[in-house]
Structure 1
Amino acid sequence: MLRKTVEFSTPGTRLSVAHRQLVIQRPDLPKATLPIEDLGVVIVDDVRATYTQAVFLELLEAGAIVLVTGRDHLPIGMMLPLDAHHAQAERHRAQVQASEPIRKQAWQAIVRAKISQQAMVLAQFSKGHKRLAAMAGKVRSGDPDNLEAQAAQRYWPLLFGQGFRRDREAEGVNALLNYGYAVLRAAVARAIVATGLIPSLGVHHRHRNNPFCLADDLLEPYRPYVDWRVRLLLGSSGCSVPSVSERETRAALLSLLNETIRVGQRREPLLLALHTSAASLCRALTGGDRSLSLPVGLPLQLDLEATEPRDDP
């Protein structure tokens, strides 16, 4: 079942629980309720919001994640369930014991998929996609040539203009990317935990202060969906940058989780595709099939409506 992604941004929102329903109370608005079991991602974008403890207990027990944003409307923290799989301890041991070649092969597949996805995004908006597509086929086990970074150097200027630089602290386009990535990262972390894996033990990301290294690994081939949506929000001129403080802008980014995409041999909403990818990564790291189910191409509705991509010069 595809669970809902909901955001609460009305100042003064109060959340509580009654009879397995999330109760929403907002100033000057009628009381509303949502079934707890229907919720997958809950985002609270209100510094004045108040909660009862039962809100967190019920949501986490139902397998949902809770994202809290700061004054800049960007997510700054999340809560996700820890007891999410019946074979969790067994899979933890297998994950820890996974060999270095298995980890390197997984990272190779992830980087290939990411660069291929970036090429698909460029094919929709710009030129240069053929060079990235060719680069994807050259990625070796563990990506020792760091083709991921080389592809990024070509990708960002082609997508957002020669003056664009990816900066996690910047405003404008970067703020939109930050918001989209943060929400997607939380959903990936939820999928990772649901498979019974340790989210802090990555196949490539290994920073000691990062509790979600494995989520950051699996996030990589999904990032281009955020890039695609942000580029669409800019319009044909690419000059008018909507603000992440606008509810409509955040809604457009959140709607990515409902887009139908191809992952492996399946077609499913992106939120469910994350679980398909996480399950395949779990199999690879715990001694099963080493092939990963990763996203392929842009959302299917766009595929049907898209014109032929422009050729490289």
Structure 2
Amino acid sequence: MSYHIVSIDAPEADLTCRNGQLVCSTKTGTRQLPLEDIAAIVITSFSARIHSHLFLESAKQGVALIICERFQPVSLLLPACRSTDTLLTRKHLTLSPAVRARLWNKTIDAKCANQLALARLIAPDSNATKNLERASRARSARKEGGCAKIFWEIFAEGLRIEGFARGRKLGGLNDLLNYGYAVLLSTVLQKLYGFGLDPTVGISHAIRERSSPLAYDLMEPFRPCVDWRVYQWIKDRSHEEAFAVTTEFRRWVTGFSLEQVDYLGLDLDIRGVIEGVVRGFRQSVLHETVRHYRPWMWKNSKWGGSS
């Protein structure tokens, strides 16, 4: 099985297969790639036409087709030979509690470190940022919640928003964050499906009806990317126009996925980093070890999108 994930995101695209090649034609030209080098094709194009021959040849090559609406995966087409990756699924379901705990600790360490990096941009000299630095280095079951409490205080104070509380249904600033997180979740789901991982089997988040715990788990270190885009959006606008989820805001916040950052010494956009993280997580599951899983931690001198 190959591990390249191809994203088709042009507004309009014609997809077919010729001589074992994926052929994608758009208004800007035609590109080809051998199907044997592809693990999955993610189609987020608003208007894509898919030739039946591509379905047939993709199935022969073991390539998954992931069709999205508003970037959210809504259909997963798998060839019969990939309907269940028995080894991966068994390993995933039977991971020991100790390995799950270590995977989750690495995830939270990265999330808290990234929150600290953002706090240093917002309020580098504040006592709250110093408190967050201490909290981010702690070894405690309450580490995530403790860091979040301090981080959101710094975030709201930087925007001069009084009485802010983080919650999915509390409105205002939360509406902007929720939209950005939904886009992030969709991106993580695309990669999970592409690598054959079941998003309903998480390492920390509880299983609920129609939920994707593993996607919620792995997206945690990337949340500050969305937070920073939202922060910049509000900082430059009046209170009246800042909190509406407009078309302009949607375009702005989704740009986080194209920001260039460092990951393991490579200069990648966030989408590429997510793919690398999911790839490593898959290897950790297969080998029942945490060493392959390397959550992204911000290390550059300049956060993407900053001036």
Establish whether TM, by shorter chain, passes 0.5. yes
Aligned residues: 274
Give the superposition deviation at 1:123.
0.8
Give the superposition deviation at 1:36.
9.2
CA distance in 2, matches of 1:67, 1:153: 34
**Is contact 1:41-1:187 (8 Å) kept?**
no
Partner of 1:47: none
Please, what is the CA RMSD of the aligned residues? Answer: 3.7
State the secondary structure of the residue aligned to 1:196.
coil
TM-score by length of 2: 0.74
**Is contact 1:222-1:295 (8 Å) kept?**
yes
2:76 to 81, 87, 98: 81
Partner of 2:154: 158
Does structure 1 residue 229 correspond to structure 2 residue 229? yes
Give the superposition deviation at 1:110.
0.6
Does structure 1 residue 296 correspond to structure 2 residue 297? yes
Partner of 1:105: 102
What are the residue-to-residue correspondences of 1:276-287 with 2, within 5 Å? 276-287=276-287
Give the superposition deviation at 1:157.
2.1
1:67 to 52, 69, 89: 69
Larger displacement relative to structure 2 (271-280 or 256-265):
256-265
**Is contact 1:2-1:272 (8 Å) kept?**
no
Distance 1:210 1:220, change over 3 A: farther
What are the residue-to-residue correspondences of 1:1-313 with 2, within 5 Å? 6=9, 17=14, 40=42, 42=44, 63-68=65-70, 78-79=73-74, 81=76, 83=78, 88-126=85-123, 127=126, 128-140=128-140, 145-160=141-156, 161-235=161-235, 239=239, 241-246=242-247, 248-291=248-291, 292-297=293-298, 302=303
CA distance in 2, matches of 1:92, 1:235: 45
Distance 1:216 1:255, change over 3 A: same
Give the superposition deviation at 1:115.
0.8
CA distance in 1, matches of 2:119, 2:238: 14
State the secondary structure of the residue aligned to 1:295.
coil
Give the superposition deviation at 1:64.
4.7
Amino acid at match of 1:234: I
State the secondary structure of the residue aligned to 1:176.
helix
**Is contact 1:233-1:242 (8 Å) kept?**
no
Distance 1:242 1:4, change over 3 A: farther
State the secondary structure of the residue aligned to 1:222.
helix
Give the superposition deviation at 1:101.
0.2
- Flag structure 2 segments of 5+ consecutive residues without an equivalent: 17-22, 34-40
Partner of 1:27: none
**Is contact 2:185-2:215 (8 Å) kept?**
yes
Q: After superposition, give the CA deviation of every residue in 1:47-87 in whole Å (9 maximum; x if it has no partner).
A: xxx988879x979967555133xxxxxx8x53253639968
Distance 1:277 1:54, change over 3 A: same
Give the superposition deviation at 1:207.
2.3
Amino acid at match of 1:217: D
State the secondary structure of the residue aligned to 2:166.
coil
State the secondary structure of the residue aligned to 2:44.
strand
Distance 1:43 1:91, change over 3 A: same
**Is contact 1:263-1:294 (8 Å) kept?**
no
CA distance in 1, matches of 2:204, 2:190: 19
Give the superposition deviation at 1:183.
0.9
Larger displacement relative to structure 2 (219-228 or 157-166):
157-166
Give the superposition deviation at 1:146.
2.1
- Flag structure 1 segments of 5+ consecutive residues without an equivalent: 9-14, 24-31, 45-49, 69-74, 307-313
Give the superposition deviation at 1:185.
0.6
Distance 1:121 1:82, change over 3 A: farther
Q: After superposition, give the CA deviation of every residue in 1:98-128 in whole Å (9 maximum; x if it has no partner).
A: 1000000011111111111111111111233
CA distance in 1, matches of 2:65, 2:299: 28
Give the superposition deviation at 1:155.
1.2
Give the superposition deviation at 1:305.
6.9
